[in-house]
Amino acid sequence: MEHSYDFSIGARRLKNVHPSAIRKVLERATILKNEGNPVIFLSIGEPDFNTPEDIKSATIQALTNNFTHYTSNRGYPGLRKTLQHYIKNETGVDYDPDSEIILTSGGAEGLNNAILSFVDPDDDVIVLTPSFVNYKSLVNMCEAHFVDVPLKDFRLDLEAIQAAITPKTKMLIINNPNNPSGVVFTREELDAICKLARENNFLILSDEMYSQLVYGDSVFYSIANFSDMKERTILVSGFSKTFAMTGWRVGYIAAPKNLADVIMRTHQYSTTSGTTFIQVGLSEAMESKNTKQAVNLMVKTFSKRRDLIVKELSKIPELTYSKPDGAFYLLVDVSKLGLSGDEFAKVLLEKKYVATVPAKAFGDAYADYIRISYATSEDNIIEGVRRISELVQEIKR
Structural domain spans, the chain: 12-50+291-396, 67-288
46/50 Cα distance (integer angstroms): 11
What is the assigned CATH class of domain 67-288? alpha beta
Three-state SS at 67: coil
12/279 Cα distance (integer angstroms): 36
Does residue 1 carry a pLDDT above 70? no
pLDDT of residue 85: 97
User: Distances in Å between the alpha carbon of 318 and those of 338, 371, 384, 388?
Assistant: 11, 16, 16, 11
CATH for 12-50+291-396 (3.90.226.10, 3.90.1150.10, 2.30.290.10, 3.40.50.800): 3.90.1150.10
Tens digits of per-residue pLDDT, 164-216?
999 999 999 999 999 999 999 999 999 999 999 999 999 999 999 999 999 99
Among residues 146, 167, 168, 150, which one has the least CA distance to residue 158?
150
Per-residue b or e along 350-368, where b marks 16 or more CB atoms closer than 10 Å to that residue's CB:
eebbbbbbbbbbbbebbeb
Sheet harboring 320-321: ordered strands across?
320-321, 329-333, 369-373, 357-358
Say which DSSP state 241 is in.
Answer: T
360/162 Cα distance (integer angstroms): 24
Tens digits of per-residue pLDDT, 236-256?
999 999 999 999 999 999 999
Does residue 11 carry a pLDDT above 70? yes
Does residue 140 carry a pLDDT above 90? yes
Tens digits of per-residue pLDDT, 345-377?
999 999 999 999 999 999 999 999 999 999 999
CA 195 to chain centre: 24
Per-residue b or e along 137-149, where b marks 16 or more CB atoms closer than 10 Å to that residue's CB:
bbbbbbebbbbbb
3-state helix, strand and coil shares in percent for the chain, rounded to the nearest 5: 45, 15, 40
Cβ pair 110, 234 in contact under 8 A? no
Does residue 396 carry a pLDDT above 90? no
Does residue 95 carry a pLDDT above 80? yes
- Please indicate, yes or no, whether the overall pTM of this predicted structure exceeds 0.85: yes
pLDDT of residue 2: 66
Other Cβ atoms less than 10 A from the Cβ of 231: the count is: 13
Tens digits of per-residue pLDDT, 329-349?
999 999 999 999 999 999 999
Does residue 149 carry a pLDDT above 70? yes
pLDDT of residue 18: 84
Pairing of strands 233-238, 251-254: antiparallel
Tens digits of per-residue pLDDT, 247-304?
999 999 999 999 999 999 999 998 889 999 999 999 999 999 999 999 999 999 999 9
